[in-house]
């Protein structure tokens, strides 16, 4: 019950944040320099009358607040407006492009977690030994190297020099094998992974490096806890101490970082999609900015903002679920 | 006593090898624990009490190491060295392996209660599951039986509604209640010896009283032996049968509790007792021990207490006294490591007092009451001495 109420409470709390996101995005998009209608006409000379007609058609002649209200009413119905530049509903564009981005971000996180947690634990148990020093250097490089550069290097090495992996595009596991001309689902899965590998590593390295360091610090702290001393004194095997007693406590900050770094990961996805030529939301975003397609810019910003808010809520809830000390607000 | 002791510690040495040098945290201590008794290990912070007690379970973490001595428990060698053919010291063959210490000694034979009940329980597991885990590990009980035992034990240590509390997390317990849980853990594993490492230090005085009463009661019921580590002479007086006073890694005095209090043989013990408020004496001002305990990295020459000792003489700087039997009481030896006793046959009597501020502190202040108090206590102690 407590958890359910807490969830509802967090969702309600998020509403003002979401409204804030729409207001700021709307104002910023409209303050941006450049006139979308003129941009659409790409420098062609047209009558003032034509411009006014187009403006009327898209409601650009009305005052800002009126346009905001209309926008919000449409938004609540799932309509994010119409892309002037592409002449298609923004919602359709987003749905079409969301899959690749989610696939990329989720796999990058999976990669980061699967590598960072064991490596962090190993570094913690071999504190100040060579393994630990190596992991420290790897983490430092991982944190300080831009993901797009890692992406380019990976392409140079694994796609161009060695020719092992493809350098661009993704294969989507939700499409039928026939679409790509593959023999079956096994090949589809294989190709999906082959295509995903490089962008996943490029995007996940930063997360991996951060998480690994946090995991190490947390495990060291946890292993020095009195409860670990007590477990040892009662003859609990060292493996159990590591896997259960120390581990469980050490994971709490990891969850926080995963949740909060979601924005970094989505930002990184923009660059990685560009480098690897993936048709995701990130690339769509870049194209939208270049063409000043502000209905699309707003749509993407709102969707990414909302995803981030959802990420934070999920973090909070899972925290409350895992750490019994987090109260749900209905206790002291 | 004629009976074999449950635990015998002989010349135990535990050292920490740090960058600054070797810290001789425990430097050759010997004591015994017999069945059913509570043995106190008393001293200031840093005297080596906790290191000594953790050595008994071989739970010394790097850079620390037990480097010498012998620990025998129920005839088994927890730690013991012998000289190898190459003249180097090596571990004795009958010494228990790490795995044997873990499975045969820790928990099921020797259990511990730690100082800080707030930190000793794992915050993310329920109190019951932690209790059950230790019981399952140390006793041959099925899952259900271990759970029942855990609940029974919680009830035994005075936790109300144990069935409900079993499912709760440590943060839902108060400090005193958590310490009760830790006591329940120790008793539930049915050990013969429990090491209580300052178990009441983190608690307020009323709760401390309750916990001491509880332990006293349960100790009699289960006839478990205890090693009670503390810095509080008041607690010692209340609960211990016999006492070891530690100073800078050494045991300087060892005696049954009444004997220790009424016939103190070591100036350090005297100083400890003087620095403590006592209901049987009214003083204007407490008499703290002057100075701070030196570092165990470079202990003073001779008697380690001589720089702070009011009775220190030249000879004390030179002679390092071992803990020798100076009297007998209740069938136990009364040992003290101070050369002013005749058994040492030193030239203490002829030696000149040294100026270390400890003695002067009691005499130089011109106030008559102060001097008078110092005087009367001295003779008070003297009467018992002769």
Q: Where are the domains of chain A?
A: 3-90, 92-322
Left if phi > 0, otherwise alpha if psi is -120 to 50, otherwise beta: which for B260?
alpha
- A49-99: per-residue pLDDT in tens? 877 887 787 777 778 888 888 888 888 888 888 887 788 888 888 888 888
> For A92-322, CATH number?
1.10.3720.10
Distance of CA A131 to the CA centre of its chain: 30
Q: Tell me the CA distances in angstroms from B47 to A127, A242, B14, B29, one per residue in order.
A: 29, 31, 12, 12
Which residues on adjacent β-strands are paired with residue B81? B91
The alpha-carbon gap from B196 to the nearest alpha carbon of chain A, in Å, equals 12
- B88-117: per-residue pLDDT in tens? 888 888 888 888 888 889 988 999 998 888
Burial class (CB in 10 A: 0-12, 13-18, 19+), A248: middle
A178 neighbors A232 (Cβ within 8 angstroms): no
A267 neighbors A148 (Cβ within 8 angstroms): no
- B183-212: per-residue pLDDT in tens? 999 989 989 999 999 888 878 888 888 888
Judge: B105–A229 Cβ closer than 8 Å, yes or no: no
- Name the residue facing B171 among A237, A248, A324 (closest C-beta): A324
**A227 touches B: beta carbon within 8 Å:** yes
Which residue ranges make up each domain of chain B? Answer: 7-109+191-350
Judge: A249–B122 Cβ closer than 8 Å, yes or no: yes
Phi, psi of B30 (to 5 degrees): -135, 130
Handedness of CA A217, A221, A224, A229 (dihedral sign): negative
The alpha-carbon gap from B145 to the nearest alpha carbon of chain A, in Å, equals 19
Left if phi > 0, otherwise alpha if psi is -120 to 50, otherwise beta: which for B84?
beta
Q: Which superfamily does CATH assign the domain made up of B7-109+191-350 to?
A: P-loop containing nucleotide triphosphate hydrolases (3.40.50.300)
Percentages (nearest 5) of helix, strand, coil residues in chain B: 35, 25, 40
The alpha-carbon gap from A320 to the nearest alpha carbon of chain B, in Å, equals 11
Per-residue pLDDT at B367 exceeds 80: no
**A239 touches B: beta carbon within 8 Å:** no
- Name the residue facing A233 among B103, B112, B126 (closest C-beta): B112
B166 neighbors B151 (Cβ within 8 angstroms): yes
> Minimum mean pLDDT among A29-43, A103-117, A295-309, B197-211: which range?
A29-43
**A236 touches B: beta carbon within 8 Å:** yes
Q: Which residues contact A43 (CB under 8 A, 6 or more apart)?
A: none
- B214-259: per-residue pLDDT in tens? 888 888 888 899 999 998 888 899 899 999 999 999 999 999 999 9
Judge: A226–B119 Cβ closer than 8 Å, yes or no: yes
The alpha-carbon gap from A2 to the nearest alpha carbon of chain B, in Å, equals 15
Place of tokens 């034509």: A50
Judge: A325–B114 Cβ closer than 8 Å, yes or no: no
**How many beta-carbon contacts under 8 Å exist across A and B?**
69
Judge: B102–A322 Cβ closer than 8 Å, yes or no: no
Distance, CA of B50 to CA of B114 (rounded, Å): 10
Q: Where are the alpha helices (DSSP H) in chain A?
A: 2-31, 36-41, 48-57, 64-76, 90-125, 130-144, 147-154, 177-180, 185-223, 226-233, 238-240, 247-250, 252-260, 262-275, 281-290, 294-322
> Minimum mean pLDDT among A246-250, B19-23, B225-229, B365-369: which range?
B365-369
- Global pTM reads 0.78
What pLDDT is stored for residue B51 in this prediction? 92
Average pLDDT over residues A313-322: 81
- Name the residue facing B169 among A236, A248, A324 (closest C-beta): A324
Per-residue pLDDT at A298 exceeds 80: yes
Question: Which residues of chain A are within 8 Å of residue B108 when distances are taken between CB atoms?
Answer: 235
- The string over B354-373, giving b where at least 16 C-beta atoms fall within 10 Å of a residue's C-beta and e elsewhere, is bebebbebbeeeeeeebeeb
**B329 touches A: beta carbon within 8 Å:** no
Give B142's Cβ-side CA count (13 Å radius): 2
Per-residue pLDDT at B374 exceeds 90: no
């Amino acid at each position: 019950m407590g958890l359910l109420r807490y969830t509802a409470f967090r969702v309600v709390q998020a509403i003002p944040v979401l409204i804030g996101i729409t207001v700021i995005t709307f104002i910023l998009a409209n303050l941006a320099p450049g006139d979308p209608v003129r941009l659409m006409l790409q420098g062609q000379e047209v009558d003032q009358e034509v411009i006014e007609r187009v403006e009327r058609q898209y409601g650009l002649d009305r005052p800002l607040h009126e346009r905001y209200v209309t926008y919000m009413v449409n938004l609540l119905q799932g309509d994010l407006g119409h892309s002037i530049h592409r002449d298609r509903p923004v919602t359709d564009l987003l749905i079409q492009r969301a899959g690749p981005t989610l696939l990329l971000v989720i796999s990058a996180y999976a990669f980061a977690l699967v590598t960072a947690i064991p490596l962090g634990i190993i570094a913690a148990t071999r504190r100040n030994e060579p393994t630990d020093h190596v992991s420290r250097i790897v983490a430092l490089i991982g944190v300080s190297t831009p993901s797009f550069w890692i992406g380019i290097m990976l392409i140079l090495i694994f796609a161009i020099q060695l020719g092992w992996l493809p350098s661009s595009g993704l294969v989507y596991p939700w499409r039928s094998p026939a679409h790509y001309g593959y023999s079956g689902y096994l090949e589809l899965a294989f190709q999906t992974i082959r295509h995903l590998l490089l962008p996943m590593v490029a995007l996940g390295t930063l997360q991996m490096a951060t998480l690994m360091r946090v995991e190490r610090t947390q495990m060291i702290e946890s292993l020095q806890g009195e409860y670990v001393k007590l477990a040892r004194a009662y003859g609990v095997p060292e493996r159990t101490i590591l896997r259960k007693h120390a581990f469980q406590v050490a994971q709490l900050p990891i969850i926080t970082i995963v949740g909060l770094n979601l924005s970094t990961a989505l930002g990184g996805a923009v660059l990685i999609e560009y480098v690897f030529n993936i048709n995701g939301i990130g690339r769509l975003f870049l194209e939208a900015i270049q063409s000043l397609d502000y209905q699309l810019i707003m749509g993407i910003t709102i969707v990414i903002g909302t995803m981030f808010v959802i990420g934070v809520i999920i973090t909070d809830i899972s925290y409350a679920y895992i750490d019994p000390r987090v109260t749900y607000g209905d206790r002291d | 006593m004629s009976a074999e002791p449950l635990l015998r510690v002989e010349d135990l040495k535990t050292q920490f090898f740090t960058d600054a040098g070797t810290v001789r945290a425990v430097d050759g201590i010997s004591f015994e624990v017999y069945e059913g008794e509570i043995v106190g290990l008393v001293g200031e912070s840093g005297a080596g009490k906790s290191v000594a007690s953790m050595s008994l379970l071989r739970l010394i973490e790097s850079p620390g190491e037990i480097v010498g001595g012998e620990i025998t428990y129920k005839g088994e060698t927890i730690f013991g060295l012998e000289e190898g053919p190459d003249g180097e010291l090596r571990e004795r063959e009958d010494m228990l392996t790490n795995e044997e210490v873990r499975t045969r000694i820790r928990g099921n034979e020797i259990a511990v209660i730690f100082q800080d009940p707030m930190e000793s329980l794992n915050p993310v597991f329920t109190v019951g599951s932690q209790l059950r885990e230790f019981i399952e590990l140390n006793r041959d009980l099925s899952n259900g039986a271990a759970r029942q035992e855990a609940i029974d034990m919680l009830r035994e240590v005075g936790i109300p509604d144990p069935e409900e509390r079993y499912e709760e997390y440590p943060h839902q317990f108060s400090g005193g209640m958590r310490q009760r849980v830790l006591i329940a853990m120790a008793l539930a594993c049915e050990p013969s010896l429990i090491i209580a490492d300052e178990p009441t230090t983190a608690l307020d005085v009323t709760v401390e009283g309750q916990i001491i009463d509880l332990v006293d009661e349960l100790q009699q019921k289960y006839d478990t032996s205890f090693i009670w580590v503390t810095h509080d002479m008041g607690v010692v007086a209340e609960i211990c049968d016999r006492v070891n006073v530690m100073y800078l890694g050494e045991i300087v005095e060892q005696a049954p509790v009444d004997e220790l209090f009424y016939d103190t043989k070591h100036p350090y013990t005297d100083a400890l007792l003087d620095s403590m408020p006592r209901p049987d004496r009214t003083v204007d001002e407490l008499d703290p021990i002057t100075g701070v305990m030196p570092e165990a990295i470079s202990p003073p020459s001779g008697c380690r207490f001589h720089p702070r000792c009011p009775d220190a003489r030249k000879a004390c700087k030179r002679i390092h006294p071992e803990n020798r039997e100076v009297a007998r009481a209740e069938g136990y030896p009364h040992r003290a490591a101070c050369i002013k006793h005749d058994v040492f046959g030193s030239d203490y009597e002829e030696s000149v007092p040294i100026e270390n501020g400890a003695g002067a502190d009691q005499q130089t202040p011109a106030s008559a009451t102060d001097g008078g108090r110092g005087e009367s206590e001295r003779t008070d102690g003297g009467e018992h001495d002769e």
